[in-house]
Every structure is written in C-alpha cells, then in structure tokens.
Structure 1
Amino acid sequence: MDTPPPPPSPPPTGTSVPNPPPSYPADTKHPHPPPPRPPSTDSSAPWRYYLTSLAASLFLLYLVLPPTVTNTASALLPSPEPYFSADRFLASRLGYKLVADVPRALVPGGKGVKRGGEGRGRVIIIGDVHGMFHELVKLLEKTNYDPENDYLVFSGDMISKGPDSLKVLDLARSYSAGCVRGNHEDRVLLHWHDLQKKKRKGRKGGRHNGKHPRTAAASIDDLELDPEEDDEEEETVEVADDADDEFTTERIRNERKLAKSLSRKQAAWLDACPLVLRMKKVADLGQVDVVHAGLVHGVHLEDQDPKAIMNMRSLDKRRLTPLPEGERDGVHWADVWNRGEKERRKGDGEGPTTVVYGHYAAKGLDIRKYSKGLDSNCVRGGRLSAFVIGKNKEELVSVGCRTFLKD
C-alpha cells in the first residue's frame, strides 16, 4: 500500500504566505492588467535620433547643392548600380550585334610580333562620311590606302545626309571594310525593315482582295520602290544644328527615301555591323574599341546601353549615366573616360583601353590620350578625317570637304 506524501512544512514563524491568485476561465480577460513599464534608461536612444536626422539632412543637401559642391564629396558616397545592368541581353533582343573582335592577323604587328616587326600593314579608321563619296576617295588616296595590306574601318554614319550614300556603302563592301553601327544607319535600317514588313503585308492583302500584288503594293506609299520609279537624287536639306533636326519631317522623309533605295545585300551588310569593333593589344594604344558615339567608363562592354553607344554625347554630372539625345548640359563622356583610364592604370597597372569614335561634329576633332574623336563635320564643309594605326606610329590624316548641308 502506497504511503501518502508528507504534508508541506509550515512557514517559518513571523512570515506570511501570499494568497494564491484566483483561477479564471481561459477566455476571461484578466481583471488586473500588468503594471506600466518603467521609462527606458537606454542613453543611446537620443543619439540614434540625432544621427538619423543628420544622415537625412546630408542626403537632402547632396540632392539640392550644385554639382561643383558635391563633386568633392562624391568619392565618399557608394557608387550607384549601372543603370543598364538589369538587362545585359538588351542588344541581342533588339537585334544588335554588340561586340565583334578584329582578327589578330589584321591588327598592326600581328600575333606575337613586337612593335616594328613584320606583320599586317595598317588600320585606317574613318570618321563620319555621311555620303560624301568624293571626299572619301580623296582621303583614301591621301593615306595611300593599300587594300591588300591595310584594314579599313568606318566609325558609323557613313550614310545619310550627303549625296552619295549608296556609293560610299558599295565602296566599303567592295573593300571588305570593318564598320560599326551609327545612329543614322540604325534609323535607316529601322525604316528598311518596316518597309519590308509593310511590303509583305501589302502583297498578302492584294491576293485576298483580288488585286495583283504589285497593284496592291502601289497603293501604299511606304513600300519599296523600283529603281525606275524613284530616280531623284537625295536633295540638300538646310539645317542649323544636328541635334535640332534629328526628328524633323524632312529628315524622316529623306531617311525613308534612302531606306527604299537599299538593296537586300546592302541592308544585310549594314545590319551585320556591330556596335563595338574591338582590337586587342595594339602597340601604345592597348585595347582599341571603335564605336560611333561613346562608352561609359567602368562598365563592361556587354553591359553598355546599346542605344547610348550609338547616340550619347554627354553624361549626367552626378550619376555619370548618358543624357538623352539633344541634352548637352552635362560632362562629355570622353572627359570621364580619359580621367578614369588615367586613374585605373595607376591602380592596377593594366594596359589602357582607347576609344575611337565619331558622332560629335559640334566638337570637331577631339584627339586625346585615351580617346580619338574623328567627326570633323565633313557634310557641312568641314573635313573628313582618319586615324591611321601603323606598326611604327599613329597619325591623323584629313581632307577638306564641299559644303553640302548649309547652316
């Protein structure tokens, strides 16, 4: 038989036992709320408040002060994420070939050949031709261009605006020249592809409504014309400034007309031009990137904005991202590029990257250590320029131009 537990010991003499709390059903609210918590004794709370306020005030000052004041402090702030890094496949999705490498056999010095040794002849990079065929021929003669040994490269905008775009295009094709896509090639090609699409739709519609395909197509003024239907030459368009006339009705009409005159082979050749033509390990220049408009320093080629490569001139002063076309109240991207290359070479000791470009006719020739701007406004009576890279030296060659577009 189990022995019962002993009774609890009595409390010591002189002490009182507190009454046990009453029991309540589980769903009954406790009638005695807990006592209020004593005030916090954390001495760091005011400091946290002051520091948060100070950080907010400094951020507001950074936003409202002019760039000249904030430039000095900008190095202390974290760098923003690249504005185009969210979609590094944008170029391919838009149908652009982003980067193409020039074979080493075409680069002066060749593979494994030191400066001054045996190797390929020269690379001749031409600025914006804009259909000025006669000036292009003069420039090639002045450079003593040798198709057997020299590699010819066009830095974009070889067509449009001028009188002989198709002749320039056929000359480039006949010499198997290198090229990059400029903003004018881009717009003309957009017109061309749109015309082909509408032409196909027009022919399809002609079959369904009982008309001959050509009759149906002729009712749509945007369709491709036969050569005998459009023998007029490109006419002179008088404009004041390239940025101001980019999207005028006259400009669009002329681009549409040029697009109609392109053959399929000509359009396919232009379509194959990449946005960046890259030459590696060029003596004294390091890597050479040929583009039409520019690049953002510190951003990999694969992450560059394809539209900016063809169109940009200036960068936002704070964020160092390309400004929209026509906005020039910023810093020239070449300023940032040259400063960045100088600092980068101090830090890692790697070879430089030199950018050769066109597009900026308002600045004219802009030859610096790590960038070479070649658009010298030929179509408006300036000069047509070439940057010649040889085994022993680099040189600038140019010829005078007729005035085709007038201010």
Structure 2
Amino acid sequence: MTQKLGQEQVEEKETQYEYTPQGPGLDTRQHMTTSYGHKPLIDQVTNGWRGDVKIPEDSGDYEPGFCDIEDEGSCPNVSRDIVRSRRFRRMLALVVVAAILAYYAWQAYLRPRLLEDWEFKEGFMSGRGNGTYGMARSGDFDGTAIKDIDAALVPGGKADHDGKRRLVFIGDIHGCKKELLHLLDKIDFDSAKDHLIATGDVVSKGPDSAGVLDELIRIGAESVRGNHEDRLVEAAKTMLDDDVDVPSAAITSKGSSKDAALLKHMKPRHLRFLHDMPLMLRIPALPLAKHPGKHHIAEEITVIHAGLVPHVPLEKQDPYFVMNMRSIDHKTHVPSALHETKKGNSKPWFNIWNWYQDRIDRGRSVDGFHVYSYAEWLGKQASHGWFEKVRHVLPSKHNDKVTPQVAVYGHDSKMGLQLHRWSKGLDSACVSGGHLTAMVLDAKGKTEITSVKCKNYK
C-alpha cells in the first residue's frame, strides 16, 4: 500500500504546475504549486470563441478619407491648424491691406488717368461724332506766320563748335524794363554769345513799353507776337491820326483809347519791331543735346505766345488762338481764350499737348489723328481696309513720321510757371507783382530757370 501511495504521489508530482515568480524581492527558490488536474488550464476552457474567431474583411485595407475628422492629416484638420497659426493671420492681414491700397490706387490714380487718356484719345476720332479741330483753321495774319531761327544762333550748331552759345527765353515782360535789366544782369547775359527770345506781350500794362522795345532791339533779341502786340499792330492802321484825342497819361493798352495812347509813345523802329514779330518761332533740335528729359531739351522747339492745337500742323494753326488760347475742349479740340467754357469740357491746352507729344515719344501710333474735317476723315476711312482699321487701334511704332516737339509759351499768368517735359510756360505775372522768369538753354540741352521779383504796376 505504501508502494501504491508512493506511485500516486509520483504521478501527482508529474502533473503539478509550478509557477515561479520572477519579480524582484521574491525568492526564486519558493514555488507556488497549484494542481489543475491532468490538463493545462487553457485546455479546460469550453467557450466556443477559440475556434470561431472572425477577422473583419476590411481590417487590413482601411485608409482614412481626405476629409476624415479623425485623421490629423485630413483637409479640415490641416486647414484649422493653418487658420490658427500666427503666420497665416499675418499674411491675411497683409493681403487685406494690399487689397485696400490697390483699391484706393485704382480709384484715386489709375482709373482717372485711364479715363483721361481715353477722353484725350477720343477727341482725335472724328468718326465718333465729337469731331476734331477743323473749325478754326489758319486765317488772315498780317506778318510772318512761321519763322526759323537763324542757324548761326543755334547753340552747338555749325557756328558754335565749342558749344558756348545760349538761348534765353523770357516770359511776358509787359513794359517792365527795370525788371528786364535786373534779370539779364542776374543771368550774366552776353549778347555776343547769348540770344534772347521773348514769348510775346513785351509791351503794355507796365511803365515803360518803349524802353523795353529799345532794349530788345539793342541786344538783337527776338519775340513772337502776343495778343497785345497784335492789337497794337492792328490799331496802328487806324489810330495813328493826329486828330485822335489821346489822354497823355495813359500808358497801358486797356481799351482802344489806351492802345492809341501807347502808340503815341512809339517810334517807327518800335512799330517795325512789333510788325516783324513772327506768330511762331521754330528752333531745330540742338546737335549736342544727348539727354532729353524734363530739365533737358533735345527736341525741336516751337515758341508761341499762348498755345497750339496738338495734331494740327503749324501752317494750319489759327493765328487768333495761337496768341490767345488758354484751354481746349478735350472732345472737339476746339481751343478757347477762356480757362473754362460753358460746356465744361475744357482742359488746359498744354495737358492735351503733353499727352500727344508723350504718345509720339513712346512710339504709339497717331495715324488717323491728323484729320482736320469730317469729310477728310470719311475719305481716309474709305481708303483703309479692315487690316488698316485694326492696326490703328493697336500699339504701333508707326507715327506718320511725326516727331515730338517742345512748346515754349507765355500769356497765362493765372496758371503761373508751368514746366513740363513737352511744354514750358514762362508767364509768372510780372506786371501784377509776381516774377519775371527766364529759361536759359545751353548747347547740351540743359535748362536753368531764373526769376526776379517784380513790382505790382496794376
């Protein structure tokens, strides 16, 4: 029996499951023995899940979607992170500021300029019903309409190899001899190498018109005819009569009686000088001028008293407006002696002049601009095919061989000194207490402005 018990104890020992703790602080020699019968515990579980485990069909192929909120890399989550970032907010603020600035630049600068550019161009298009300058053509003029300057007087020309000569342009003198002498002294005028050109209205209003004429004659100066000279030339035909009662104290030309009074103070040489004044004086481009710009002139110069209509050739300009214009209707291009007309389309004439010359200088086409009547425009349209009509609209280097030119003028004391790239207005209201202004042009085309203060003689 003892033997039998010993065998059972041996078998029981063979089926014992020993668990040996491995953790620190436990004695590995201690054994915890639990008897679970003859089978491992896992084999004694009777649940059916062990043999019926199902794996989801898509468990291995699942990928998060583009807009899956649970995926950190999805579109909504990435967008949210971007919006929350400081960098994004700074960039958004910059974009908003840039948009606001662009809007105000468009409204305050770009849009008005583009609109004005179109309006100026529209005035050249006869076929649009606005017409172009054709009503005021060249009329009667008792004198020389266009005169070219003596070639020997051109700075840097054939007679001036060293480039020492200068041209001196002076605004409206109006009989202010004292101021004229002061200005000539200030610019170190030397009649041996300098040539003075006045922009007209050298007489009337001021205290010594005859004295101004004597000084101009003495130094060999030239002047274009202004509206006051023209009045005197016309008045001389009828007012130089011994029977005319003239107030001796009247020395200005406000009205016919004062024109007659001024004529009484003039000698034949004075009247001859007035009559010989050309309507326009043309100066060729200076040979040594290389750097054209606002303060340099390298192009042909036309000196007039009041203004010019941009696209009308000099020989077709109306003499009255050349001596009297202040504005141009930007739709019809008809000039006016007023600053503002009742129609409200008036622009300072030099604005359209500058736009037109700048267009030529940049090589933009002006083909079709040189039309002086509606009938002439119809004739040109009939001779153009469809290709020619399209070509006129597009930018082109073709410009009918027209070259830009600079206009030097006076007359408009209300506008004051106006110095632009293509026009130089020199009337600075001398006789009204303003300044007498000179523009000195050297052989290299550089201009220098000098003025002297004037007494108010009004």
Q: TM-score, normalised by structure 2?
A: 0.59
**Partner deviation per Cα, 1:84-117 (whole Å, 9 max, x = no partner):** 57x64x2xx431311100122211111397xxx6
Equivalent residue number for residue 257 of structure 2: 253
**Partner deviation per Cα, 1:324-366 (whole Å, 9 max, x = no partner):** 4464551011000110011112224865300000000001000
Change (3 A) 1:120 1:178: farther
Change (3 A) 1:151 1:84: farther
What is the CA distance between 1:221 and its match in structure 2? Answer: 2.6
Equivalent residue number for residue 104 of structure 1: 151
Aligned residues: 292
Contact 2:327 2:349 in 1 (8 A): yes
Partner residue of 1:270 out of 267, 274, 278: 274
Contact 2:248 2:261 in 1 (8 A): no
Contact 2:123 2:132 in 1 (8 A): no
**Partner deviation per Cα, 1:158-212 (whole Å, 9 max, x = no partner):** 000010110001101111111100001111221112124xx3xxxxxxxxxxxxx
Partner SS for 1:359: coil
Partner residue of 1:394 out of 443, 447, 453: 447
Contact 2:328 2:348 in 1 (8 A): yes
Distance 1:313 1:273 in 2: 21
Report matched runs for 1:79-98 at 5 Å: 80=131, 82-83=133-134, 88=138, 90=139, 93-98=140-145
Read off the aligned partner of 1:302 and give its amino acid letter. Answer: E
Equivalent residue number for residue 323 of structure 1: 336
**Partner deviation per Cα, 1:8-51 (whole Å, 9 max, x = no partner):** xxxxxxxxxxxxxxxxxxxxxxxxxxxxxxxxxxxxxxxxxxxx
Equivalent residue number for residue 240 of structure 1: none
Report matched runs for 1:7-156 at 5 Å: 71=119, 74=122, 77-78=125-126, 80=131, 82-83=133-134, 88=138, 90=139, 93-111=140-158, 118-156=162-200
Change (3 A) 1:257 1:394: same
The alignment status of 1:182 with 2:214, answered yes or no, reads: no
**Partner deviation per Cα, 1:104-134 (whole Å, 9 max, x = no partner):** 2211111397xxx613510001100001110
Distance 1:69 1:367 in 2: 21
Distance 1:142 1:75 in 2: 44
Partner residue of 2:315 out of 280, 302, 310: 302
Change (3 A) 1:370 1:326: closer
What is the CA distance between 1:72 and its match in structure 2? Answer: 8.2
Contact 1:84 1:303 in 2 (8 A): no
Read off the aligned partner of 1:345 and give its amino acid letter. Answer: D
Query: Greater Rg, structure 1 or structure 2?
Result: 2
Change (3 A) 1:379 1:305: same
Distance 1:194 1:150 in 2: 37
Read off the aligned partner of 1:300 and give its amino acid letter. Answer: P
Distance 1:73 1:314 in 2: 16
Change (3 A) 1:106 1:84: farther
Contact 1:163 1:233 in 2 (8 A): no
Distance 2:310 2:124 in 1: 19
The alignment status of 1:363 with 2:409, answered yes or no, reads: no
Partner SS for 2:271: helix
Partner residue of 1:290 out of 298, 303, 307: 303
Change (3 A) 1:310 1:373: same
Contact 2:120 2:352 in 1 (8 A): no
Partner SS for 1:96: coil
**Bigger CA drift: 149-158 or 321-330?**
321-330
Distance 2:206 2:262 in 1: 11
Q: Which runs of 5+ in 2 are unaligned?
A: 1-114, 364-398
Change (3 A) 1:139 1:367: same
Read off the aligned partner of 2:237 and give its amino acid letter. Answer: H
Q: Which runs of 5+ in 1 are unaligned?
A: 1-66, 200-216, 223-229, 236-245
Contact 1:357 1:374 in 2 (8 A): yes
Equivalent residue number for residue 356 of structure 2: 340
Change (3 A) 1:84 1:171: farther
Change (3 A) 1:173 1:337: same
What is the CA distance between 1:232 and its match in structure 2? Answer: 3.6
Change (3 A) 1:221 1:83: same
Equivalent residue number for residue 404 of structure 2: 352
Distance 2:151 2:163 in 1: 10
Distance 2:304 2:327 in 1: 15
What is the CA distance between 1:140 and its match in structure 2? Answer: 0.3
Change (3 A) 1:77 1:157: closer
Read off the aligned partner of 1:147 and give its amino acid letter. Answer: S
What is the CA distance between 1:263 and its match in structure 2? Answer: 1.6
Partner SS for 2:427: coil
Contact 1:189 1:259 in 2 (8 A): no
The alignment status of 1:385 with 2:437, answered yes or no, reads: yes
Distance 1:76 1:302 in 2: 19
Contact 2:153 2:159 in 1 (8 A): no
Q: Identical aligned pairs, as a percentage?
A: 35
Equivalent residue number for residue 161 of structure 1: 205
